[in-house]
Amino acid sequence: MIEKRDFYIGGRWVAPVQAKDHPVIDPSTEETCAIISLGTAADADHAVAAAKAAFPAWAATPPAERKAVVERILAEYERRKDELAAAISMEMGAPIDMSRDSQAPCLPWHLTNFLTAFDHIEWVRPLGPHAPNDRIALEPIGVVGLITPWNWPMNQIALKVIPALLAGCTCVLKPSEESPLNAMIFAEFCHDAGVPPGVFNLVNGDGMGVGARLSEHPDVEMISFTGSTRAGRAISKAAAETLKRVTLELGGKGANLIFADADANAVKRGVLHLMNNSGQSCNAPSRMLVERSYYDQAVEIAAEVAKGVKVAPASEHGRHIGPVVNKRQWEQIQAHIQKGIDEGARLVAGGLGLPEGMNKGFFVRPTVFADVTPGMTIEHEEIFGPVLSIIPFEDEEEAVRIANDTPYGLTNYVQTQDGARRNRLALRLKSGMVEMNGKSRGAGSPFGGVKASGRAREGGHWGIEEFLEVKAISGWDNALAAE
């Protein structure tokens, strides 16, 4: 069993001021795989004080030097990437091959994209030819609190810590207590890469303790949070007292619009996308909207694909999905499946209980409901599990109406060979992202949503700019600058 009882504050591992032991559960076995300490507000205060003391020097560090430090983090990842992947797999249940191929590599992917964007930032630039003595300066916002989730843990750490460091901010990271081990390995990366003391700090804790304190702390200038919409609202309220900047990346209930002229793999692709990571992705296409003339065929394909999805322990190699993260999540998913049955949706794959042959672990049967109608619980609530709802539509207008009739607005998907239709839908769907015909967003494209999905924009130059203040300057001495 792993024991991680210290926090990384001020460039060294320190004992908590006041803490309680917290078991980390392997969701494949339901057994404790690690013991960590959960900190309190006092530990958060300690970390914020270290970040505040380090901020002036780090903010004044030339951008090229900050870039060099971040590049050394990448070198540490390359040296220990298998260890990182193993930790993620054990603590949150991602199959080991997926963890090695998708979960852990989120760090180098985002880091290299941020470095590319960083090279194009103009820290002081002219306003325009109409105002030759005006300048726009970009400056780091200050100490930032970063609160990350368990489902794609290294993805969110990379999307927050790396741009904060590049921008010149100092930070306090509170990872999810469900998956803290990868974050502690990342802290070791930062230490070994020579990140100056106090620039990066890590405190484990829960939302009510460390998370709430960071949100209300007067010396924290910004909170960047990824998690549930409910928690995002609470953080926004707590942060309002100190007027700090708040960026939120929250839940989703993505619609996947499949038209009769979609390519032959569209339905299969949509089912597998939803099932990936056991359905525990905020951008999962959990509502499959299918044109009526293709509906029956699509339901048949979706059911067969779901029945072919293997479920197995995270430690097992191969193509399969693992467990969901914990018992509470498993029970909530079971309740949603029961709601779908009770409210009259047609179960065509999966269903209640553990998969066949399993008697422990938080495993969910890959589940597909057909004949789902707008307003059903499984249609409008985020389930965060491998449960797909299929809904028929008559025409483009109805498809848009159903897709947009949700409090969420993270990612929508479109499958059609009609280019004009794709372009229309891309602009009409109310979401921060639209992906069409299986094409993923390009490197450096921003990740984020609208409405109850939050309004953060993470990745690329947008992700760095979220940690910067804009200063307007007039009366700039151009002659002196030229010298």
Q: What are the residue numbers of the active site?
A: 249, 282
| CA-closest candidate to residue 368, choices 351, 393, 391 | 351
The vertex-169 CA angle with 282 and 38, nearest 5°, equals: 60
Q: In whole angstroms, what is the distance from residue 145 CA to residue 362 CA?
A: 31
- To which H or E segment does residue 47 belong? helix 41-59
Q: Residue 270, CB half-sphere, CA atoms under 13 Å: how many? A: 36
Q: In whole angstroms, what is the distance from residue 468 CA to residue 247 CA?
A: 12
| CA-closest candidate to residue 33, choices 67, 7, 2, 73 | 2
Please tell me whether residue 299 adopts helix, strand or coil conformation. Answer: helix
Which residue bears the tokens 């609470």? 234
| CA-closest candidate to residue 464, choices 111, 203, 155, 109 | 111
Strand pairing of 2-4 and 31-38? parallel
Q: In whole angstroms, what is the distance from residue 3 CA to residue 14 CA?
A: 14
103: tokens are: 């979960």
Q: Which residues of 251-274 are buried (b: 16+ CB within 10 A; e: fewer)?
A: bbbbbbbbbeebeeebbbbbbbbb
Q: In whole angstroms, what is the distance from residue 108 CA to residue 94 CA?
A: 18
- Please answer whether residues 115 and 107 qualify as being in contact, where contact means their C-beta atoms are separated by less than 8 angstroms: no
- Please answer whether residues 173 and 157 qualify as being in contact, where contact means their C-beta atoms are separated by less than 8 angstroms: yes
- Please answer whether residues 303 and 347 qualify as being in contact, where contact means their C-beta atoms are separated by less than 8 angstroms: no
